[in-house]
A = this chain, B = another copy of it.
Amino acid sequence: MYKYKLTLAYDGTNYSGWQVQPHATSIQEILEKAIHTITREQVRLIGSGRTDAGVHAMGQVAHCVFEKPIDLEMFFKAMNGILPYDIRLLDIVLAPLDFHAQKSARRKVYHYHLCLQPVVLPFQRLYTSHVREPLCLDLMLRAAQCFVGTHNFTSFANSASEGAAAKNAERTLYRLDLIKTEQGLRLEFEGNGFLYKMVRNIVGMLLEVGGKKRALDDISRLFTAKDRRLAPKAAPARGLFLMEVCYE
């Protein structure tokens, strides 16, 4: 048995998300088919976590196990030859047999892009979320700081993980930085783990606070309430990028 760690980038626009599901084309499925074409092995590719339809990745990590060792250079070229141009293999290395793309992950970095201009440039239409209302940056910065640290994020996790979230929804956000860009803002999230739709729900909250639709101290109230129904709706998928997954 040979275990490999793959680093992947993809444009999520044309897919139903990372995970294989019936009646929809997933990124995982496209990758598994390409691997089968090259190696004739029917493997299951385990990702560091799901990404939803429309969410992008610059550094998704996955692992799979082969019966026979593979020629890394040949495999790398063959994969990028077979894969559609919106999915790319960035790296592949041999990994220890106890490596697990999801369970061994220690830290993840997500970026969320906001366009604050009157018009979204055509080239960014699939990679940013358009905010037309004026935002108070100072309020957003203060709201962001409320999320940093260790909290029970139940109110900011969507239903797909509610069962799991109820059990253990405690996560640590190491940083949430707001970086000014040419067209608006880039929100950088770094944490030890993220619940289902957590980043997009936090972005939704930052936008409501920045747009003065909610008060700053609603955030701590929501942490205490542990009730997703009280939180704002999630920000659109297209602004979100999984940038990096870190291991020990």
- Chain A residues packing against B (C-beta within 8 Å): 9-11, 56, 58, 80, 85-90, 119-123, 125, 127
Contacts and interface: CB of A to CB of B under 8 A. Distances in A.
A122 B80 contact: no
B11 A119 contact: no
A89 B9 contact: no
B9 A125 contact: no
A88 B119 contact: yes
Nearest to A86: B122
A16 B127 CA distance: 24
A85 B11 contact: no
A9 B117 CA distance: 14
A58 B11 CA distance: 22
A87 B121 CA distance: 8
A10 B122 contact: yes
Contacts of A127: 123
